[in-house]
């Protein structure tokens, strides 16, 4: 299976900056061995859709509503994302769980709405530092993924999963390749118990992945790609990570 490298721009960017960033990425992309996507703020989906015409980089959103339409001020539905050629959407990023109170049930409902619209949800799971120190890592990530597996039934094989230890996101502290692999193996086993097609599901690692550490992380047997925050805003770093994903 091809690896997937997805950039998460978070709440960064602007019309000019987006164009410059994508020009920088296009300039060095060539024919990557992996799939590549960028998850951009919702207001820039139309702009980035235009800029990515003819590119191998695919468009992703950072979130999706758990509702189809109606009185949900500020939300963006999966059908709306689809209108702009969105291929993937993050669901359950730890910043949404933490700052917007997203529960496992809500994340599962969002994953379902994305699938219904033909968009692949990138389901983010991960433990906090306190949970890791309490020895709860495995239980936490299994619980978070179980909610989505329970919701989507036979569609488990259409998911992408991203293991993102919360303590490693934006902190410069990366999980060691061994720590990451250990959790990825747990998630892979959980997927294998849910579907005979688990091999189709990439399990990405995210959390301060950089040009310097990507190759070692991506060489782990159960790491199927990366979800990249800060380094995805720097074309040379993002390209180096893409190169590392063989
Ligand atoms: C993320 O936002 O998903 C992420 C992994 O961020 P960073 O790479 O900056 O830690």
d(CA 60, CA 82): 10
Closest by Cα among 238, 196, 187 to 214: 238
Q: Which is the catalytic residue, given 158, 164, 184, 243?
A: 164
Ligand 1 atom with the smallest distance to the CA of 171 is: 10
Find where tokens 């959980």 sit: 190
Report how far apart, in Å, the C-alpha atoms of 200 and of each of 34, 137, 192 are.
14, 24, 10
CA of 240 to the centre of ligand 1 (A): 16
Task: Return the sign of the alpha-carbon dihedral for residues 227, 228, 229, 232.
Answer: negative
| CA distances in angstroms from 163 to 17, 82, 112, 154, listed in the order given | 28, 25, 19, 21
Nearest CA to ligand 1 atom 4: 229
Output the CA 146–ligand 1 centroid distance in Å. 23
Separation between Cα atoms, residue 41 and residue 154, nearest integer Å: 30
Which atom belonging to ligand 1 lies closest to the Cα atom of 168?
10
pLDDT band at 246; cut points 50, 70, 90: confident
**Catalytic residue list contains 164:** yes
pLDDT in tens, 58-95: 999 999 999 999 999 999 999 999 999 999 999 999 99
User: Cβ < 6 Å from ligand 1: which residues?
Assistant: 8, 10, 164, 169-170, 206-209, 227-231
Q: Which residues, 6 or more positions from 225, have their beta carbon under 8 angstroms from its beta carbon?
A: 3, 4, 5, 6, 34, 35, 202, 203, 204, 205, 218, 245
The beta strands (E) that lie in the chain are given as 4-8, 35-40, 57-61, 88-91, 120-125, 160-163, 203-206, 225-228
The candidate with the shortest Cα–Cα distance to 125, out of 41, 203, 209, is 203
- Structural contact between residues 177 and 219, judged by C-beta atoms closer than 8 angstroms: yes
Q: What CA–CA distance (Å, rounded) separates 49 from 205?
A: 25
Per residue in 182-237, pLDDT tens?
Answer: 999 999 999 999 999 999 999 999 999 999 999 999 999 999 999 999 999 999 99
Give the Å distance between the CA of 227 and the centre of ligand 1: 7
Task: Please state the atom number of ligand 1 nearest to the C-alpha of residue 169.
Answer: 10
Q: What is the pLDDT of residues 20-40, one digit of tens each?
A: 999 999 999 999 999 999 999
Q: What angle do CA 217, 99, 90 make, to 5 degrees?
A: 45
Give the pairing of strands 57-61 and 35-40: parallel
Query: Would the pLDDT of 134 be above 90?
Result: yes
- The model's confidence at residue 173, banded by pLDDT at 50, 70 and 90, is confident
98 DSSP assignment: H
pLDDT of residue 114: 98
């Amino acid at each position: 299976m091809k690896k997937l490298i997805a950039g998460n721009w978070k709440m960064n960017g602007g019309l000019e900056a987006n164009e410059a960033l994508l020009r920088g990425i296009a300039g060095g992309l060539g024919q990557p061995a992996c799939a590549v996507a960028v998850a951009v703020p919702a207001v820039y989906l139309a702009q980035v859709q235009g800029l990515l015409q003819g590119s191998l980089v695919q468009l992703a959103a950072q979130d999706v509503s758990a509702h189809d339409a109606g009185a949900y001020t500020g939300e963006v539905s999966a059908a709306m994302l689809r209108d702009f050629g969105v291929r993937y959407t993050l669901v359950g990023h730890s910043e949404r769980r933490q700052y917007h109170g997203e529960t496992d049930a809500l994340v599962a409902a969002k994953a379902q709405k994305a699938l219904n619209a033909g968009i692949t949800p990138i389901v983010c799971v991960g433990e906090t530092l306190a949970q890791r120190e309490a020895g709860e890592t495995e239980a936490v990530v299994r619980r978070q993924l179980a909610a989505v597996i329970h919701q989507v039934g036979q569609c488990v094989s259409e998911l992408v999963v991203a293991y993102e230890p919360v303590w490693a996101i934006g902190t410069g502290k990366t999980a060691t390749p061994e720590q990451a692999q250990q959790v990825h193996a747990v998630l892979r086993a959980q997927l294998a118990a849910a579907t005979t097609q688990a091999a189709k599901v990439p399990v990405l690692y995210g959390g301060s992945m950089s040009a310097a550490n990507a190759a070692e992380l991506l060489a782990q047997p159960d790491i199927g790609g990366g979800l990249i925050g800060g380094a995805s805003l720097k074309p040379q770093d993002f390209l180096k990570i893409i190169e590392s994903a063989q």
